[in-house]
């Protein structure tokens, strides 16, 4: 076995994953929102119609994920690059659209392509490459994507002011492709054994450099029929639903009489916190374990909701609550990924996580409806925050029970 010298290739893989996430997931689900208002005005539709793009993207992801679980280990780098290219090509084509229907159709196929470049692929690859510091690596990859997106968001607005939204969208898609495609082709590899290497930290754990590195865990055929699977899927679905509250901070700010700039700054603060929290949550999970780490940061999310409940008339509290509340969004990435790895092991991790994520993304597509409907019915965001607190507690219960029941599931290695 050839030894690597200097920096382990796993860190290059992590950087590539961050570029892949940015050039597909965060660009085409978050930053693309900057194009909604001018595009809606040009197409003569209301904002709610064009925002359905996000809903159909999530539905597309949910439809694609079952195939990801079965095909992921068979797809070469060129295949992943192809799915990344598909997303950028469709986004570029949307710049020429003259009907909102094309946004919905395009959004669905972007979602299908994204299912092969998003959370399941990234988490599986980094779990394969990192025996130690897995949580940190997953969190850092998402954090890198957040940094790139934080730069791209104002840049896209500047481009629209200079050359119009249609031309700016073509440039936006080209930048996404320039990030994601080279990363998929040259930086990201499914597992270290395909490069004749061992994962980062393997020697420290195994203490036997010459041994093979078997994947140990619950076989998918047992996991998918277990109550632990149902509970983890429910935990992800509920987290998806409450995490969308970040997008409604401007509505909350307006409802309590804040200036519009306060709502916008709440989103900016959440984005800044996201950069730091991704790596911090990952490092916490590495330190104290997936279950305790997940529950601890979910408790932080509860504190954030309490702060927001008392933030009317106090912008600084609103900013603090928005920042800490981003922990919910972070837990969707490194948090759930680590819980799945802990409960079910790594043997069939990709397949199990794909089905769990399918349920989660399907639930996420209705998260916005749940939040807005609750606000409309009650006329106040206070009940929205109470709802989020109750759901966060339920999520913790699901994760704890899933872990307890998961200990009873049969585990085998991939060489058995």
| pLDDT tens by residue, 183-227 | 999 998 887 887 777 877 766 555 544 454 566 788 888 898 999
Backbone angles phi, psi at 297, to 5 degrees: -75, -25
User: At a CB cut-off of 8 Å and minimum separation 6, what does 181 contact?
Assistant: 23, 81, 84, 85, 88
| Residue for token pair 């690596």 | 137
C-alpha to C-alpha distances, 192 to 140, 175, 184, 188, nearest whole angstrom: 19, 29, 15, 10
**Cβ pair 197, 45 in contact under 8 A:** no
- Please tell me which residue, 49 or 300, carries the higher pLDDT value: 300
SS3 call for 106: helix
**Dist. CA 301–CA 175, nearest whole Å:** 33
Note whether 148 and 279 are within 8 A (CB): no
Residue 373 to residue 344: CA distance in whole angstroms: 36
Q: What are phi and psi of 367, to 5 degrees?
A: -60, -45
CATH number among 1.20.1250.20, 2.40.110.10, 1.10.3720.10, 1.20.1630.10, domain 9-191: 1.20.1250.20
Looking at residue 3, its pLDDT comes to: 44
The H or E element spanning position 412 is: strand 412-413
pLDDT at 304: 96
The whole-angstrom separation of Cα 144 and Cα 127 is 17
* Residue found under tokens 């409960």: 343
Give residue 245's pLDDT band: very low, low, confident or very high (50, 70, 90).
confident
Alpha-carbon distance of 209 to 211, in angstroms, equals: 6
In this structure, the number of other CB atoms found within 10 A of the CB of residue 205 comes to: 11
Q: What is the pTM of this model?
A: 0.79
Indicate the fold that domain 216-407 takes in CATH. Answer: Growth Hormone; Chain: A; (1.20.1250)
pLDDT digits (tens, 9 = 90+) for 83-135: 999 999 999 999 999 999 999 999 999 999 999 998 889 988 998 888 888 88
Enumerate the CATH 1.20.1250.20 domain ranges in the chain, comma separated: 9-191, 216-407
Q: Residues 292-309: what's their mean pLDDT?
A: 96
Within 10 A of 291 (CB to CB), how many other CB atoms are there? Answer: 20
Position 2 confidence tier, pLDDT thresholds 50, 70, 90: very low
What is the spatial distance between Cα 363 and Cα 62, in angstroms, rounded to a whole number? 9
DSSP 8-state code for residue 2: P
- Report the DSSP beta bridge partners of residue 143: none
Quick one: how far is CA 189 from the chain centroid? 20
**H/E element, 216:** strand 216-217
Rounded Cα gap, residues 122 and 37, in angstroms: 31
Cα 408 to Cα 296: distance, rounded to the nearest angstrom: 24
């Amino acid at each position: 076995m050839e030894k690597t010298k200097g920096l382990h290739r796993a860190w290059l893989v992590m950087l590539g994953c961050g570029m892949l996430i940015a050039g597909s997931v965060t660009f085409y689900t978050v930053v693309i929102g900057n194009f909604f208002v001018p595009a809606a005005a040009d197409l003569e539709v209301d904002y709610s119609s064009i925002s359905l793009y996000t809903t159909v993207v999530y539905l597309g992801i949910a439809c694609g994920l079952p195939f990801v679980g079965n095909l992921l280990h068979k797809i070469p780098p060129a295949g992943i690059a192809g799915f990344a290219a598909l997303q950028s090509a469709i986004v570029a084509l949307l710049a020429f659209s003259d009907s909102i229907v094309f946004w919905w159709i395009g959004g669905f196929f972007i979602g299908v392509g994204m299912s092969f470049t998003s959370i399941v692929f990234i988490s599986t690859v980094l779990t394969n490459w990192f025996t130690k510091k897995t949580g940190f690596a997953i969190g850092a990859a998402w954090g890198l994507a957040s940094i790139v997106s934080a730069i791209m968001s104002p840049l896209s607005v500047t481009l629209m002011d200079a050359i119009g939204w249609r031309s700016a969208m073509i440039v936006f898609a080209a930048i996404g492709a320039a990030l994601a495609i080279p990363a998929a082709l040259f930086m990201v590899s499914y597992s270290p054994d395909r490069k004749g290497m061992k994962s980062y930290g393997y020697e420290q754990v195994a203490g036997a450099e010459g041994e093979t590195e078997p994947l140990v865990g619950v076989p998918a055929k047992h996991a998918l029929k277990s109550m632990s699977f149902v509970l983890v899927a429910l935990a992800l679905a509920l987290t998806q639903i409450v995490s969308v509250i970040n997008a409604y901070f401007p509505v909350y700010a307006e409802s309590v009489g804040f200036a519009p700039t306060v709502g916008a700054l709440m989103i900016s603060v959440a984005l800044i916190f996201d950069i730091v929290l991704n790596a911090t949550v990952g490092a916490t999970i590495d330190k104290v374990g997936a279950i305790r780490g997940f529950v601890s940061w979910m408790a932080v999310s509860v504190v954030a909701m309490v702060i927001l409940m008392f933030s009317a008339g106090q912008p600084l509290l609103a900013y603090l609550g928005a920042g800490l509340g981003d922990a919910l969004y972070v837990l969707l990435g490194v948090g759930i990924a680590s819980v799945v790895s802990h409960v079910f092991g790594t043997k069939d991790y990709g397949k199990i996580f794909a089905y769990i994520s399918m349920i989660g993304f399907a639930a996420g597509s209705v998260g916005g409806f749940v939040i807005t409907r609750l606000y409309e019915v009650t006329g106040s965001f206070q009940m929205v925050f109470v709802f989020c607190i109750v759901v966060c507690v339920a999520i913790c219960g699901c994760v704890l029970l899933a872990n307890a029941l998961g200990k009873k599931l049969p585990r085998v290695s991939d060489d058995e």
